[in-house]
Structure 1
Amino acid sequence: MDYTMQVSLTGEFDDVVDATIAALEDEGFGVLCDIDIQATLEEKLGEEFRQYRILGACNPPLAHEGLTEEIELGALLPCNIIVYETDDGDIVVSAVDPQQLVGIADNDALDSIATEVTERFERVLAAVTDERASGSGA
């Protein structure tokens, strides 16, 4: 089962992270948390790991609308977007598929919200791809 939407890019890891955060902000999302998995695994376990960040993104109006319809939806928020380096050196930006995520709740009132978030995430992924293709921020 596919549960993410993703693009694979070339470029500098930190530049892709910055471009992803900017694209999220352009779509009305704030990044509530930014977890550096590589640093965490090194600090907590002494283990080396690839560059890997988890961005917890939230669009307050859409979150409010969703929580109004389904109070337990908070267990699925914020929506996560991950940015990681592949073994080949490419950078993947992957967002949770809101349709799959909201499907867990089995509440038809959330369908339009999931569609809206999906469309916004698609634009985020397109914007990151376009920025990398144009060479901006590289």
Structure 2
Amino acid sequence: MFHYTVETSRSVQAAVEALEDALKSEKFGVLWDFNVKETLNGKGFDFNQSMRILEVCNPEEANKVLAENELVSYFLPCKVVVYESDGKTKIGMPKPTELIRFLDDAKLNGIAEDIEQRMIATIDSVK
């Protein structure tokens, strides 16, 4: 499966706040917090699903993978999505290992695996 997704008992807002704190322990920062519902409603669309897309980055890891292959830039920054679905809050992300597979590079695969495991642990810590 190309993504990792869990359910949480937290609200979307509480999950986002907890994620921001937890990501810091892995030296990831939130570069952008895209509030999809707020943005689409502000543009005149009737979108009622709470959804936040966080773009997150660990500068050391970004530098490491970009030094190996600039095409990795197509996959940066990492995304974490927090949303409501069927009355439940979910937290998910596309798996870095699935994205990096397109570049067919064993060294990058290893780095992506490490990042993926750290991101999964972070998500699991706030669910």
> 1:123 is matched with which residue?
121
Contact 1:41 1:49 in 2 (8 A): no
Write the deviation string for residues 68-104 of structure 1: whole angstroms up to 9, x where unpaired: 00112111100100000112x2110001201101112
The alignment yields a C-alpha RMSD, in angstroms, of 1.2
When the two structures are aligned, how many residues end up with a matched partner? 127
Output the CA distance in 1 between the equivalents of 2:64 and 2:89: 33
Secondary structure, in 3 states, of the residue corresponding to 2:49? coil
Superposition deviation, residue 5 in structure 1: 0.9
Extract unaligned runs of 5+ from structure 1.
130-138
TM-score under structure 1 length normalisation: 0.87
Extract unaligned runs of 5+ from structure 2.
none
Contact 2:12 2:51 in 1 (8 A): no
Superposition deviation, residue 33 in structure 1: 0.9
Which of structure 1's runs of 4+ aligned residues deviate more than 4 A?
none
Write the deviation string for residues 45-67 of structure 1: whole angstroms up to 9, x where unpaired: 32222110000011111111100
Which amino acid is 1:52 matched to? M
The percentage of aligned residue pairs carrying the same residue is 31
Alignment of 1:12-51 (within 5 A): 12-51=11-50
Superposition deviation, residue 112 in structure 1: 1.5
Which amino acid is 1:10 matched to? S
Which amino acid is 1:119 matched to? Q
TM-score under structure 2 length normalisation: 0.94
